Amino acid sequence: MKKIKKALISVSDKSNLKFILKKLKKYKIEIISSGGTYKEIKKLGYKCLEVSKYTGSKEILEGRVKTLHPKIHAGILSSRNKKKHSNDLKKNQYDEIDLVIVNFYPFEKILNNKNKHDKIIENIDIGGPTMVRAAAKNYKFVTVITNSNQYEDLSKELDLNKGSTSLGFRHKMSAVAFNETTYYDALISNYLNNKTKNSFPSKKVIFGSLFEKLRYGENPHQEAAIYTLNNKLNLTQLNGKHLSYNNYNDIFSALLISKSLPKNTGTVIVKHANPCGVSINKNNLQSYKLALACDPISAYGGIVSCNFRIKKKLALELKKIFLEIVICNGVDSDALKILKNKKNLRIIDASNLNNTNLDNISSSFNNFLVQTPDTSSFSKSNFRIVSKKKPNNQTLKNLIFTFNICRFVKSNAIVIADNDSTIGIGSGQPSRLDSCEIAIRKMKKFYKEKSDNKIIAASDAFFPFTDGIEKLVQSGVSAVIQPSGSIRDKEIINFANRTGTILVFSNTRHFKH
């Protein structure tokens, strides 16, 4: 047990400060503070000694240097069981500081709301993290509190131990404190790396705030949690059970596709992180029906992501089949009421989610891979028409839509489409030929209403041989879009010309593993 006699308080977040001050007064704990915290403590009617008077040194550099003083840090860092440390304190007339309550300048908040670099830099806290690190290092003797939500735990600890804290409690708070300083430094490091366009620094820090512990991971025997950047998920759950690991995985997969579609247009249906139907028909109700028609069997128990606001007519359609999740960009009140009739249906509003260019991270064996995202919008300049037969503007537009969907399908990926909707998707096969066969089989099974437009297909990488494109053409495909780069590209072009097939090459490949 360590009796607390002297506490240093310096907090940006002054919420619930009165609660902990009352507790410190109960146990006759002397308080030292500075700046705005000092003023707030005095305003609340509690005794407090200002840091500048305690150290005998005035604040300088417009407040940049307040607590960076040996009297503060010696008081925090001294080992109480070392005679030399005790002698040093006595010699310099320094006191032990037993409790440090500090949280940092709101760097993250400023980062979200300000574009001014100088303002952001000025909100990098120096004194706060320095005191926290010192107290956390010396947890054998010093208690460190870094968040107002820990006040209640501290209060209970003080009551339980009559003004003292246990070693176990101090150890636990030390670990939390180092989490806070690490996260804080990672935010700064990430900001400065982004500012200097250093995408792959020699030391890479992955950071996040715990949003929620999940019931389990991909399988019940695995533990899982979800962490977020900026302390928010930017998704609002309007109904249904808690989301699982697999739910989140599917939601993010669906939203990557949805956010790549034209604004307020398009429906995506996802099952096991793979799309099983997508349509960008401008009629929102029709886009859902066309996406569902692509593979209604796989859609059962899947996720529907609507890149638009859901209205009553669509809600009535959505309730006809079993779905795990419906994602929307807002929902009308009468539509929400209809969907809520299915009490276990999770309804997610993704209106506030932006498709920002964040790194993709994958980890195994205590290593992790980092890459920039594959979410840039396509334009006609990204493609070359290499066949003798040329597509009209509408066909080229449809080919680009199909290719866009293809890059979000697990590789090897083949997508067959009619106009503005997918009609066959083959995914995740070691052989590109197998993916072609699956896409064709799906199309033949579910594609009933043939339009005047001839069907088209996309591949996420080049065809190494003519057998894959030949199967597609034999099934009725009239135009193909694929990346170039094979040593047999000329053979593929010659095959397209012999069969009167439109062939468009992409300048970039789009594997998704």
For the segment 412-418, the average pLDDT, to the nearest whole number, is: 95
For the segment 318-346, the average pLDDT, to the nearest whole number, is: 95
Given a cut of 70, whether residue 36 has pLDDT beyond it is yes
Give the Cα separation of 326 and 250 in Å (integer): 11
Domain boundaries defined on the chain: 2-195, 232-349, 378-506
Q: Which CATH number fits domain 378-506: 3.40.50.2300, 3.40.140.20, 3.30.750.24, 3.40.50.720?
A: 3.40.140.20
Predicted local distance difference test score (pLDDT) of residue 2? 85
Q: Mean pLDDT score of the chain, rounded to an integer?
A: 91
Residue among 272, 312, 340, 342 flagged as catalytic: 272
Least confident piece of the model among 128-142, 153-167, 229-243, 498-512: 229-243
Tens digit of each residue's pLDDT (9 = 90 or more) over 484-497: 988 999 999 999 99
Active site residue 137: yes
Residue among 6, 18, 39, 137 flagged as catalytic: 137
With left for phi above 0 and alpha for psi between -120 and 50, is residue 428 left, alpha or beta?
left
Structure tokens at 108: 């993250």
Least confident piece of the model among 61-70, 181-190, 335-344, 392-401: 61-70
Q: Which CATH number fits domain 232-349: 1.10.3720.10, 3.40.140.20, 1.20.140.150, 3.40.50.10480?
A: 3.40.140.20
Q: Strand, helix or coil at 362?
A: strand
Q: How confident is the model at residue 301 (pLDDT cuts 50, 70, 90)?
A: very high
Enumerate the H helices of 259-354 as residue ranges.
284-294, 296-299, 312-318, 333-340
Per cent of the chain over pLDDT 70 is 97
Tens digit of each residue's pLDDT (9 = 90 or more) over 189-223: 988 988 898 888 888 888 888 999 999 999 999 99
Domains 232-349 and 378-506 agree in fold: yes
Interacting residues of 81 by C-beta distance below 8 A, sequence separation 6+: none
| DSSP character at residue 243 | P
The sign of the CA dihedral 231, 233, 239, 244 is negative
Predicted local distance difference test score (pLDDT) of residue 317? 95
Given a cut of 80, whether residue 353 has pLDDT beyond it is yes
Q: How confident is the model at residue 105 (pLDDT cuts 50, 70, 90)?
A: confident
Interacting residues of 472 by C-beta distance below 8 A, sequence separation 6+: 414, 416, 436, 440, 457, 480
Q: Strand, helix or coil at 130?
A: helix
Q: Cα 248 vs. chain centroid, distance in angstroms? A: 10
Structure tokens at 61: 């550099």
Tens digit of each residue's pLDDT (9 = 90 or more) over 40-51: 999 999 999 998
Given a cut of 60, whether residue 452 has pLDDT beyond it is no
Tens digit of each residue's pLDDT (9 = 90 or more) over 118-170: 888 888 888 889 999 999 999 999 999 999 999 999 999 999 999 999 999 99
Provide CATH code, domain 2-195: 3.40.50.1380
Given a cut of 70, whether residue 428 has pLDDT beyond it is yes
Predicted local distance difference test score (pLDDT) of residue 453? 59
Given a cut of 60, whether residue 362 has pLDDT beyond it is yes
Predicted local distance difference test score (pLDDT) of residue 361? 83
Given a cut of 80, whether residue 358 has pLDDT beyond it is no
